[in-house]
Chains A and B, each alone.
Chain A
Amino acid sequence: QAVVTQEPSLTVSPGGTVTLTCGSSTGAVTSGHHPYWFQQKPGQAPRTLIYDTSKKDSWTPARFSGSLLGGKAALTLSGAQAEDEAEYYCLLSNGGVRPVFGGGTKLTVL
């Protein structure tokens, strides 16, 4: 099955912009992978941030956006806030049957 790769960790300054990426060992990530992005804070269940590449859940702050960038799925945070410090996971639909999670990116706001 595909291996999905994410940056293990990233740091962003308060008010700054950062892009997290999600790649696949099988090749370019496309809209057909229906990329999902989840946010997870310590001791909490994950929550959906972005689904189907760029669609936002009802709670998703406007400062988060999803896209495809250079053959990867991307999550961009513009105007980082302290509350955005969390682990972020992407999920790719691997042929529509067996989805695969990325290893997660620990985002520090500092």
Chain B
Amino acid sequence: QVQLVQSGAEVKKPGASVKVSCKASGYTFTGHYMHWVRQAPGQGLEWMGWINPNSGDTEYAQKFQGRVTMTRDTSINTAYLELSRLTSDDTAVFYCASHSSGPVDWGQGTLVTVSS
């Protein structure tokens, strides 16, 4: 079955960058778009963008453009989310989510804490 395993929790200082990984298994990695979703503490889900692992094409939410980069390494079936110029407002759980035309499969989430 589909499994998305994300990297562990991170603590970063304001102004730094963070890179979160998402390793996929149980399906053809290049056949599903990979989305990234942010959830701040006690808040709702916020779509950040997607990457097409086959082509490397990306689409980012306007809010994150200029600060977010989504990449992938097809040799190890892993997608990456990098977010730069972190502020305390970026303290959140970040989820990867794999999607083709059916149900969305979710990673377990990665907590990123931004604190001085």
Instruction: List A residues at the B interface (Cβ < 8 Å).
Output: 1, 36, 38, 40, 45-48, 51-52, 55, 57-58, 87, 89, 91, 97-104
B106 contacts partner chain A, Cβ-Cβ < 8 Å: yes
4 nearest interchain CB pairs?
A: A48-B103, A57-B103, A45-B106, A104-B44
The total of Cβ contacts below 8 Å across the A-B interface reads 49
Which residues of the partner chain A approach B59 to less than 8 Å between Cβ atoms?
97-98
Cβ of A76 to closest chain B Cβ, rounded Å: 19
Knowing A51-B104, A57-B103 touch, does A45 contact B109 (C-beta < 8 A)? yes
CA distance A86 to B39 in the complex (A): 16
Given that A51-B103, A57-B103 are contacting pairs, would A89 and B108 also be in contact in the complex, using a CB cutoff of 8 Å?
A: no
List, in ascending order, chain B residues with CB within 8 A of A58's CB. Answer: 103
Contacts of B45 in A (CB 8 A): 38, 40, 46, 89, 91, 101, 104
A40 CA / B37 CA spacing, docked (Å):
13
Docked complex Cα distance between A55 and B101 (Å)? 11
User: Taking the complex as formed, is B107 at the interface, i.e. its CB lies under 8 A from any CB of chain A?
Assistant: yes
- Least CB distance from B42 to A in Å reads 10
A101:B47 contact, CB within 8 angstroms: yes
Q: Which residues of B contact A99 (CB under 8 A)?
A: 35, 47
**B63 (CB) vs chain A CBs: closest residue:** A1
